Structure 1
Amino acid sequence: MKDKDHQSGVQVMLNKVPEITLFFWIIKILCTTVGETGADFLNMGLNFGLDNVTAIMGALLAVVLIFQFRFKKYIPGIYWLAVVLISIVGTLITDNLTDKLGIPLMYTTITFTILLSIVFAVWYKKEKTLSIHTIVTTRRESFYWLAILFTFALGTAAGDLLAESIHLGYLLSAVIFGTLIAAVAISHFVFKVNAILAFWIAYILTRPLGASIGDYLSQDVSNGGLGLGTVITSVIFLATILATVIYLAITKKDVIRKSNFGDQVS
């Protein structure tokens, strides 16, 4: 479905992203965990190698994003499949830079922070808003997915930096990022910090949280994990994602039902 803003003449669509509910954050964290364990499983478990895994996952992501852009409304299955794949690709980008090219995690963390800031700055300059409640044009959706990619790459680098380079361990890293997310939530709901700012900070932090949880569950006990392995961990989280997405597709509890076109396009 499309409509047209009469002041700007820009064609707009139904919002292409889900409403921000508890389900959104649950699936997001599950996706980030799968991104970490899935990338490790394909790379090391199946011995595909970073180059092959990156090429395969990149191609799959491109195909899914084509479908995501072609649809004119939010489709839970397509949207969350894109998030799972972009989580894996974001992880692989960081892994290629650190493991293959030998770039220190500190540098990749700083680099992705700068790149994400540039995306947000250009997005805001062009659209005058960073709200995900206004993803109603193709250009805004392009900015949105580019920002998502860099949040995953940044989150992977930051999570590995704390857990591995600074040697805090996976469990403590998860506790730290979980505490930071709780602080962001309190700052918004209690102290009325801007909702859009709070959302994106929390969104970035869920990546290293999910990655730390995934590593803690999957890594060997000798490395500070529980030793469940990447296969079991990935299957458990993928099954939970699938069940939740099916529930949302049936109930439509996360569909943004009302749009204000006057605020959506500039």
Structure 2
Amino acid sequence: MTTPTPQHPSAPGPAQMLSKVPEITIWFWIIKILCTTVGETFADWINMALGVGLTITAVLFTVVTAVILTVQMRLRRYLPAPYWLTVVATSVTGTLYTDILTDQLGVPLWISSAVFAAALIIVFAIWHSKEHTLSIHSIISTPREAFYWLAVLVTFALGTALGDWTLELTGWGPGPSILLPASLIAVTAILWRFGLGPVLAFWVSYILTRPLGANIGDFLGLSKAEQGLGLGTLATSILFLAVIAAVVIYLTVSRTDVTENRRTHTEAAALTSPHAESSAHPIPPVSATRRKVTAGALAVTGLATIALLTFTGLQPHQSALADEGPAPSCSSDGPAVSTAAQAKTAAQAHFPAADNAQFRTITSEAKTLVAAGDQKGALVKAKELETAWDQAQPRLQSKDCSTWTFIDRRIDPVLSSVRAAHPDQAAEQQAITDLLASLPPK
């Protein structure tokens, strides 16, 4: 969606800059979704490739984002490359903050969503009280730009929480999960064309592009066994970064998204064409009644979405976040492992003792937490087990593929049962007991 170009002074004053954000054209939304997808896939790849853990990865990207943001805010006008680099970095950082709350602290996604939604409302309230506008076309001073980037960071965190919560409630796969945010963005765009306030339409769409971009990233990056296309997180990141670079180069050369440049062309057209005034204002003045009607329609759409998610969440399903897909097939020169006793013996003989001890310790602690009714703690242990197992996969699978596959298939039910939308303690205990039967004693 695009919005009318506001009038700005021809030259910035001492405390005023040229617009620090791009004109909202179709290019804006294309590159925004691309940046969001890269933020999701690149963060996943860095976290797994470096093996430093979620917290250190988040600290790393926080520092990187702070450096890039400092450069961006020292500029006096919008430049495509630093602006979109800041968006990518902020996307990664906001996503990691939500992941820390969910995966390490065990905070339920509905609480994370509510917290970030409240935080965004507070940011908007303070921003409006100080600057009397939330329009991104008014980003011509340092305070307004600071509010803008803070809001962007929170929208990425909120979008991540809402997207993951949707997957948890519905159990939808990566492909179908693209349809909901895409449909809501389309509805918002239609309502905007019929009179919905441009500021409200922009920020609603901005939030929704986060789960849309992340779901696209999952669909491209996940294996075919996990209902994806199997490109992998690294390949998807490289592909989208290349497209982003191409679009940024085009925008840098053409300057089609520079607000002042578009205003100059509009004014020139107005001097040469008697009908140019209508092109300068693509959206005619909208009455207060139409604003209210379209805002009401947006609210009804939101309520209908909540009803859909509630209904879907009540149906029997497995959380998509817990579904790691079937264990990848592999070949092995050793004997096939088909029982827990065989797996235990083979793991003790072929896998490093430190790895075996780590898996058994984490699993035993998870069992204790489940027995005590500490579901939050069990979620944390499930994530620890998943991370430790994934990081050990290359060395374990190469030592004894059959044993690795057997134990991997015992780990999946543990993750699924602990992360279920409505956990069943008996099912959790059984899955953990089955896994412990396959692990060597310490």
Q: TM-score with structure 2 length normalisation?
A: 0.56
Q: Which residue of 1 aligns with 2:204?
A: 201
Shift of 1:164: 3.6
The structure 1 segments of at least 4 consecutive aligned residues displaced by more than 3 Å after TM superposition are none
Q: Are 2:252 and 1:244 aligned?
A: no
Q: Secondary structure at the match of 2:22?
A: coil
Q: Using the alignment, how far apart are the partners of 2:230 and 2:248 within structure 1?
A: 28
**1:233 equivalent in structure 2:** 236
1:170 CA displacement: 1.9
Amino acid at match of 2:208: L
Higher gyration radius (CA): 2
Indicate the residue corresponding to 2:153 in structure 1.
149
Unaligned runs of 5+ in 2: 1-9, 265-442
* Post-superposition offset of 1:238: 0.5
- Whole-Å separation in 2 of the counterparts to 1:118 and 1:22: 29
Measure, in 2, the Cα distance between the counterparts of 1:204 and 1:34. 16
The 2-side partners of 1:205 and 1:51 are apart by 26
1:67-116 Cα offsets, whole Å, 9 max, x none, are 11111000111000000000000110011110111111111111111111
1:74 maps to 78
Q: Is the counterpart of residue 221 in structure 1 residue 221 in structure 2?
A: no
Instruction: Give the Cα–Cα distance (whole angstroms) in 2 for the partners of residues 25 and 143 of structure 1.
Output: 21
- Name the structure 2 match of 1:212: 215
What residue in structure 2 maps to residue 105 of structure 1? 109
Q: Which runs of 5+ in 1 are unaligned?
A: 5-9, 260-266
Q: CA deviation at 1:201?
A: 0.5
The equivalent residue for 1:3 is 12
Pick aligned residue for 1:58 from 56, 62, 84: 62
Q: Secondary structure at the match of 2:187?
A: helix
User: 1:28, 1:235 → 2: CA distance?
Assistant: 16
Which residue number corresponds to residue 34 of structure 1?
38
Deviation at 1:46, TM superposition (A): 3.2
One-letter amino acid of the counterpart of residue 109, structure 1: S
Work out whether residues 29 and 209 of structure 1, in 8 Å CA contact, stay in contact via their aligned partners in 2: yes
CA 1:100–1:204 in structure 2 vs 1: closer, same or farther (change >3 Å)? same
Cα distance in 2, alignment partners of residues 150 and 173 from structure 1: 22
Query: Structure 1 residue 126 and structure 2 residue 135: aligned?
Result: no
Distance in 2 between residues matched to 1:181 and 1:134, nearest whole Å: 23
Residue range with higher mean Cα deviation, 161-170 or 242-251: 161-170
Shift of 1:38: 0.9
Q: Deviations over 1:41-67 (max 9, x none)?
A: 011233231122112111111111111
Distance in 2 separating the partners of 1:199 and 1:165 = 26
Aligned equivalents of 1:213, 1:206: Cα separation in 2: 10
Specify which of 91, 110, 121 is matched with residue 95 of structure 2.
91
- 3-state secondary structure, aligned to 1:226: coil
1:167 partnered with 2:171: yes
- Partner Cα distance (2:244, 2:112) in 1: 29
Deviates more, 1:167-176 or 1:114-123: 167-176
User: 1:101, 1:52 → 2: CA distance?
Assistant: 15
In the TM superposition, residue 221 of structure 1 has moved relative to its aligned partner by 2.7
> Which residue does 2:18 correspond to in 1?
14
Q: Distance in 2 between matches of 1:51 and 1:96?
A: 7
Output the amino acid matched with 1:247: Y
Query: Contact 1:220/1:227 (CA < 8 Å) preserved in 2?
Result: yes
CA 1:131 to 1:46, structure 2 compared with 1: closer, same or farther past 3 Å? same
Q: Whole-Å Cα distance in 1 between the matches of residues 48 and 103 of structure 2?
A: 12
Report deviation, 1:227: 1.8
Quote the RMSD (CA, aligned, Å). Answer: 1.5
Give, in angstroms, the shift of residue 2 of structure 1: 6.3
The one-letter code sitting in structure 2 at the alignment partner of 1:152 is F
* Conserved? CA contact 1:2–1:11, under 8 Å: no
Amino acid at match of 2:255: K
User: How far apart in 2 are the matches of 1:171 and 1:39?
Assistant: 20
Q: Which residue of 2 aligns with 1:262?
A: none
Give the aligned residue type for 1:214: G
Instruction: Considering Cα pairs closer than 8 Å and 6+ residues apart, tell me whether 1 or 2 has the greater RCO.
Output: 1
Output the amino acid matched with 2:220: L
TM-score, with normalisation over the residues of structure 1? 0.91
Q: Distance in 2 between matches of 1:48 and 1:235?
A: 21
Identity among equivalent positions (%) equals 52
2:370 is matched with none
Partner residue, 1:7? none
The one-letter code sitting in structure 2 at the alignment partner of 1:90 is G
